[in-house]
Amino acid sequence: MKILSFTLILSLIALISFGQERELKLKPKRKDNFIHMDGLRVGMDLSRSLQHFWNKGNRYGTEFSIDMELIPNLYPTLETGWEKLRLTQDYLDYSSSGSYTKIGFDYNILVAENRQDMDMVYVGLRYGFTLANQQVKSFYVPNYWGDFSGSFDKQNYSAQWTEIVFGMKGEVLKNFFIGWSIRGKLKLGQKDFDLPHVYFNPGFGPAEKKFNFDFSYSVYYNFPFNFRK
């Protein structure tokens, strides 16, 4: 009985494997091997100015992006922006601000229905870096023997990271797009100080974490000139 069961299970596994292999072989090559979007798409990330809704403190910023379809379905991308975080509470007044830039590419995995279809679902990679400064304008340490207060001058620092991106961009009006993305950010390097440690990296998020999640919600306009002519 055991031998029969074993044989049946093996046969089932072999059948499933064969089926998957056939499925892979039968998977059609994508037929939209053409340029979907002529021109240069410029975008603005609306979520950067609303970050104080889901982050501690007053965090806000601006980010712009440029991308273009260089070869079919591959979009080199540049994103650059500025961010500030200010945390004001009873024991500390901390601020950090700086500019950041991210370069990379998006690959469209959505097969176009026709030549006019510019909607895209994409995965992408980025390399990002920031040049920023932080300042503790005042701090206060309560103590039985007498409270202690002080401040720290501006400290300049830098950081770099990489991002994995998954998102969508949909054309809602002629050449106008709306899109969102979710991003996993992995820190590659950080200039830090003994006191106080860097708490926030513009463009990356909390500096104490090696990995951060983020998302964006952007509007875009495609300047529809054909630069290939």
Partner 1 sequence: MKKNLLYISILIGLAISCDDVYEQPPQAFLEIALENVDSLDNSTPKVSAYGIGMEDSIWLYQQTTDLFLLPLSLEETTSFVILLDSIADTLRITHETELVFESAETGFYNEFKILDVDHSYNRIDDYAVTDSLVTKTWHENIKLYINSLPDSIN
Nearer to partner 1, 163 or 171 (CB): 171
In angstroms, the CA 229 to CA 213 distance is 40
Q: How far is the CB of 21 from partner 1 (least distance, A)?
A: 35
Two tokens at 102? Answer: 């991210």
End-to-end CA distance of the chain: 73
In angstroms, the CA 105 to CA 206 distance is 24
In angstroms, the CA 169 to CA 222 distance is 12
Two tokens at 126? Answer: 């980025």
Residue 114 makes contact with partner 1 by CB under 8 A? no
Nearer to partner 1, 105 or 215 (CB): 215
CA atoms within 13 A on the CB side of 166: 3
The residue range among 36-44, 65-73, 84-92, 102-110 that interacts with partner 1, by the rule CB under 8 A, is 84-92
The residue range among 14-22, 27-35, 52-60, 153-161 that interacts with partner 1, by the rule CB under 8 A, is 52-60
Judging by DSSP bridges, how do beta strands 148-173 and 176-190 pair with one another? antiparallel
Q: How far is the CB of 74 from partner 1 (least distance, A)?
A: 24
Whether the upstream peptide bond of residue 196 has omega within 30° of 0, thus cis, is: yes
Question: With contact defined as beta carbons under 8 Å apart, do 99 and 123 qualify?
Answer: no
Q: How far is the CB of 43 from partner 1 (least distance, A)?
A: 15
Q: From residue 160 to residue 199, what is the string marking binding to partner 1 with x (rule CB under 8 A)?
A: ----------x-x-----x-x--------------xxx-x
Q: How far is the CB of 173 from partner 1 (least distance, A)?
A: 12
Identified binder of partner 1 from the candidate list 6, 34, 91, 127, rule CB under 8 A? 91
Site of interaction with partner 1 (CB under 8 A)? 47, 50, 52-54, 56-57, 87, 89-92, 94, 139-146, 148, 170, 172, 178, 180, 195-197, 199-200, 208, 217
